[in-house]
Structure formats: structure tokens, C-alpha cells
């Protein structure tokens, strides 16, 4: 039950695990509705498309199917091909060619409508294999087959290539559905691996990226931002770069973008470093890069651990466990404020559980406790964007890998996008930590939108919502606030 006091317009967004009928615990939630403490981008909700082929397997399962960037929706056209080839075998070649054209046109109404529902969904193209992608444009580029299994390659795969006809078809889909596109570039192009470690050496060669950008501009495709590399920070995952070297490379990218996109109004932003936060590496990178090179600091979060973890179902509903990742957001905020105040933090990729997510958890209703709590938590730490891994693919896709039917978290993302505006408000309560509370100014209309998450399966709450008009809390310190409304402290000076 929710009671309201002194609100002219309040939208309430509820998520609860409790089906019990015990007496409700009284809670007073206070929203400081006059001044905001953080601000997200208009496209805060973001989803990724990944390069993984169908042979990407973890823990005895291969959950990516035909959801990778190079083969998305192939299964539908394979079916059409079989039907036609059985009934019209003499048209084998014609039908094959026709069906592949349909495939690469990404002509799937469920997929398109799922994207279009957001109006301007941000999609990030990237992932583990992006630093092995060669763009099939220009005269001197060697053609590579699609990613194949190879134990000596990064992440166990060979290089792959992005044909320009596929790039055109992807951009056609994005243009028709209002997507704001973030594209991850291959940061290892032109580099070589050192003999005794995962460290890659040498300067980034921007030639292939430049050819792709020039082709993209010629075709009229719109890119909102370019990101350099994937998970190459600090110790890396399968490869790594020195922070100073990466800063040199991203400065080259920034100069290239400035040259090819001379109009600041349409110029894509430059993002990085797209990896896991390491204080020393990030601070060194910020200092070496200098001001006004990157507009967004992208980092990755997989705070639930491995997808095979049998306690995953408990972690997504445990507020004490979920609190732990707040330290990363706090530390990154300190680094940015000190060394890169011109750039805003982004969660550039987060699927909760790594290695394709948990097959019994990541696509279920229960995962929404983790996902919505992360959206609320990161917004209070002034994050501009949160990119969910993935729109489709793995066990953590917002859409089912084969049917494209939305999974529960899709609806959580859509509700957030439609209800929660950019201005983040202080939200506090003085009771059970299993109740999370987040509020923003409402989107597209006056008022406040409030998200309440009940993570307890034993307690119900009778909530009274009050407005606090205090413009200037004493000492500029906000007691009982950092995220979720429970006992924390945050300085907003």
C-alpha cells in the first residue's frame, strides 16, 4: 500500500518478490523533490549487440544461437529457404540468394518493434571479439571469414570481418527504429602481442577505422559515438594495453573524428576505455589523455560473478550483496572528478553474470531485482548511460534469442525509459534495507516518478511518500542517502 502526501503528480513503479499476507511494515519514504543531485542522459537505457557466433559456448551450453551481429535472425530465413528448396528445388540458387537478402535486411517486425518502442534506444555494438574485427572496406584489407573456433586466438576465435553490405543493413534497421548508435572500434589493429604476456605493443593503426568512417559518412549512416577497444584495461581479459599507450591511441581517434566530422553538432562523441575499473590504470589514462578528448568514461560491470554460480538466484535478491558494487561507482566518480571532470561515467556493458549469464536466472523475472536496482544505483552516481548486455543473445538478452519475444527485463527497461526522467532526486527511508527506493523527475511531464523494489520474500510494506522541500540540507551533506534510500551518506559539494 502506498500513501501520498504533498505531491501534485507522482508515478509509482513497483517490483516485489513477496507473495505473503503478513501484517505490513510501515515505511515513510521522503523525496527531496526540489533539487536534483545527479543527471542521466536522455538515452540512459542502452542495450548491446555482440559479435559472438553460435559456437560461443559456456558451461556445456551455447546460448547465443543466431543472435550475433553478423548472423542475427538467420534462423527465420533458414526455415524459409528449406521450405522453398523442398517445393521448388529447381530454384535453388535464386531462392538461396533471395533468402540471404531477406536475412541481411533484418526484416523482423518483432525485433524492429521492440527497438522502436523506446523511441530512441541507444545500442552499443561491441564485445569481446570487437578487437578482432576487420572492416571490409578499402583496397588493402584482407578478407577474413566469420569467426571460427581457434584455441590460439583471442577468446578462442579467429579474426572476423564486417562486410559493408551487412553494415548497411544494420544501419537501415537502426535508422528505421530511431536508434542512437555507439560503435566499438578494433583497438588492436596494427598492434602485435608481446612474447611473454597478454600485453599488446605498438601504436594503433587507424587506417581501417578511417575507411569505415569515410564509408559510413558517404552512405549517410548516423553514428552517435565511437568507442575504442573492449576490456583492455589494467590486466585485461584476453589482451591488455598500457594506459599511456591507450591514451595515445584514443587521442589519434579523437583527431580522426574531428577531421572527418567537422560540424560539432553532428560529430560523434569519443568514448573509452570500455573495461573494468582499476584506479591506477584509469587515473594514469585520464592524466595522459588530457581534457576534451573523451566525452564518456565507459566501464563494465559483472558484479554477480560467473553465470554458472548456483547462488546467482540468491545474489540478485540480496541487498547486502548488491551494495558491494557501489564502491566501484563511488571510486570511479572520485577519479573522474579529480582527473577527468569534462567526461561523464557510463556503464558501457553489464550483463550481471559473466560468460553469457545464468541460464536459469538472467532471463527471468528475478533478474529484474538486480537490473532495476543497478539502474537506480548508477543514476544516483551520476552515470549518464547504462548499457545492458544484451539486447538479444546469451542468457541475459532482453529479447528471447530465437523468438524475439521480450523477456521480463525488457519491460523493466521500457518502463524506466518511459517514466524516469533525467533529473535524479534524493530519496530516503529509515527502515528495512530490503526496500529500495529511487525517484527521478518524471519524463515528459511535470511530477515525480518513484521506483520501489521489495527484495524481501517475507515482508510487505505500507509506504507513505512525503515531499521534502528543503533546498539546502545542512553542511551540504545528505544523510540517509546514497542509493536505494537506506542509511548512507553522500557529499554533493
Query: Residues 357, 361, 362, 367: is their CA dihedral positive or negative?
Result: negative
Rounded Cα distance between 339 and 346, Å, is: 16
Burial of 256 (0-12, 13-18, 19+ CB in 10 A): middle
384 near 492, Cβ under 8 Å? no
In this structure, what are the phi and psi dihedrals at residue 232, rounded to the nearest 5 degrees? Answer: -110, 5
Give, for 49, the enclosing helix (H) or strand (E).
Answer: strand 45-49
Which residue, among 264, 181, 173, has the nearest Cα to 222 in the 3D structure? 181
- Known catalytic membership, residue 231: yes
Do the beta carbons of residue 206 and residue 253 sit within 8 Å? yes
Active site residue 423: no
Nearest CA to 7 among 399, 370, 439? 439
- Residue 172's contacts (CB-CB under 8 Å, 6 or more residues apart) are 105, 106
**In the beta sheet, which residues pair with residue 14?**
452
Nearest C-alpha neighbor of 306 from the set 359, 262, 269: 359
Listed residue (230, 226, 244) closest to 296, CA to CA: 226
Strands 269-275, 192-193: pairing is unpaired
C-alpha gyration radius of the chain:
23
The residue length of the chain stands at 493
Residue 67 to residue 57: CA distance in whole angstroms:
13
* Residue 386 cell numbers, joined: 547504462
Partners of 272 in beta bridges: 297
Is the separation of the CB atoms in 468 and 33 below 8 Å? yes
- The three cell numbers of residue 259 are 577531421
- DSSP H stretches of helix in 178-296: 207-219, 243-260, 279-289
**Catalytic entry in 214, 227, 231, 287:** 231
User: What SS3 class is residue 213?
Assistant: helix
Closest by alpha carbon to 221, among 282, 187, 176? 176
Question: Are the C-beta atoms of residues 208 and 150 closer than 8 Å to each other?
Answer: no
CA distance 187 to 191: 8
Q: Which one of 349, 423, 487, 489 is the catalytic residue?
A: 349
Contact 193, 153 (CB under 8 A): no
Instruction: Show which residues are catalytic.
Output: 231, 349
Amino acid at each position: 500500500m502506498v500513501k501520498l502526501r504533498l505531491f501534485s503528480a507522482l508515478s509509482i513503479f513497483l517490483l516485489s518478490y513477496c507473495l505473503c499476507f503478513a501484517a505490513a511494515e510501515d515505511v515513510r519514504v521522503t523525496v527531496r523533490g526540489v533539487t536534483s543531485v545527479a543527471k542521466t542522459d536522455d538515452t540512459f537505457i542502452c542495450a548491446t549487440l555482440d559479435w559472438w557466433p553460435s559456437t560461443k559456448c559456456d558451461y556445456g551450453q551455447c546460448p547465443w544461437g543466431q543472435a550475433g551481429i553478423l548472423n542475427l535472425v538467420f534462423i527465420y530465413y533458414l526455415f524459409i529457404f528449406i521450405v522453398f528448396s523442398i517445393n521448388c528445388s529447381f530454384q535453388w540458387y535464386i531462392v538461396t540468394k533471395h533468402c540471404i537478402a531477406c536475412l541481411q535486411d533484418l526484416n523482423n517486425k518483432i525485433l524492429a518493434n521492440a527497438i522502436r518502442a523506446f523511441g530512441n534506444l541507444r545500442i552499443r555494438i561491441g564485445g569481446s571479439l570487437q578487437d578482432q574485427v576487420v572492416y571490409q572496406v578499402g583496397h588493402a584489407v584482407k578478407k577474413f571469414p566469420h569467426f571460427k573456433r581457434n584455441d590460439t586466438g583471442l577468446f578462442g576465435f579467429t579474426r572476423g570481418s564486417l562486410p559493408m553490405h551487412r553494415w548497411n543493413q544494420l544501419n537501415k534497421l537502426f535508422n528505421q527504429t530511431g536508434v542512437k548508435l555507439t560503435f566499438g572500434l578494433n583497438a588492436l589493429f596494427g598492434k602485435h602481442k608481446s612474447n611473454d604476456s597478454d600485453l599488446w605493443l605498438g601504436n594503433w593503426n587507424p587506417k581501417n577505422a578511417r575507411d569505415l568512417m569515410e564509408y559510413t559518412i558517404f552512405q549517410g549512416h548516423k553514428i552517435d559515438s565511437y568507442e575504442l577497444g573492449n576490456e583492455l584495461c589494467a590486466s585485461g581479459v584476453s589482451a591488455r594495453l598500457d594506459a599511456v599507450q591507450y591514451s595515445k591511441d584514443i587521442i589519434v581517434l579523437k583527431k580522426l573524428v574531428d577531421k572527418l566530422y567537422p560540424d560539432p553538432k553532428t560529430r560523434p562523441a569519443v568514448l573509452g576505455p570500455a573495461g573494468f575499473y582499476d584506479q591506477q590504470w584509469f587515473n594514469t589514462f585520464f592524466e595522459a589523455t588530457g581534457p576534451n578528448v573523451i566525452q564518456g568514461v565507459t566501464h563494465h560491470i559483472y558484479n554477480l560473478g560467473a553465470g554458472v554460480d548456483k547462488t546467482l538466484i540468491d545474489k540478485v535478491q540480496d541487498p547486502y550483496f548488491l551494495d558491494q558494487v557501489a564502491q566501484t561507482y563511488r571510486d570511479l566518480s572520485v577519479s573522474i572528478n579529480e582527473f577527468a571532470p569534462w567526461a561523464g561515467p557510463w556503464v558501457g556493458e553489464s550483463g550481471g553474470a559473466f560468460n553469457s549469464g545464468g541460464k536459469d536466472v538472467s532471463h527471468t523475472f528475478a533478474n529484474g531485482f538486480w537490473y532495476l536496482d543497478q539502474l537506480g544505483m548508477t543514476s544516483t552516481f551520476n552515470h549518464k548511460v547504462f548499457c545492458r548486455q544484451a539486447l538479444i543473445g546469451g542468457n541475459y538478452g532482453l529479447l528471447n534469442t530465437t523468438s524475439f519475444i521480450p523477456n521480463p527485463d525488457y519491460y523493466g527497461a521500457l518502463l524506466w525509459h518511459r517514466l524516469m526522467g533525467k533529473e535524479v532526486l534524493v530519496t530516503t527511508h529509515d527502515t528495512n534495507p530490503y526496500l529500495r527506493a529511487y525517484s527521478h523527475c518524471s519524463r515528459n511531464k511535470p511530477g515525480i516518478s518513484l521506483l520501489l523494489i521489495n527484495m524481501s520474500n517475507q515482508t510487505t510494506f505500507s509506504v507513505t511518500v512525503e515531499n521534502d522541500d528543503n533546498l539546502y540540507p545542512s553542511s551540504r551533506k545528505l544523510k540517509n542517502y546514497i542509493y536505494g534510500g537506506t542509511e548512507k551518506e553522500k557529499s554533493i559539494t
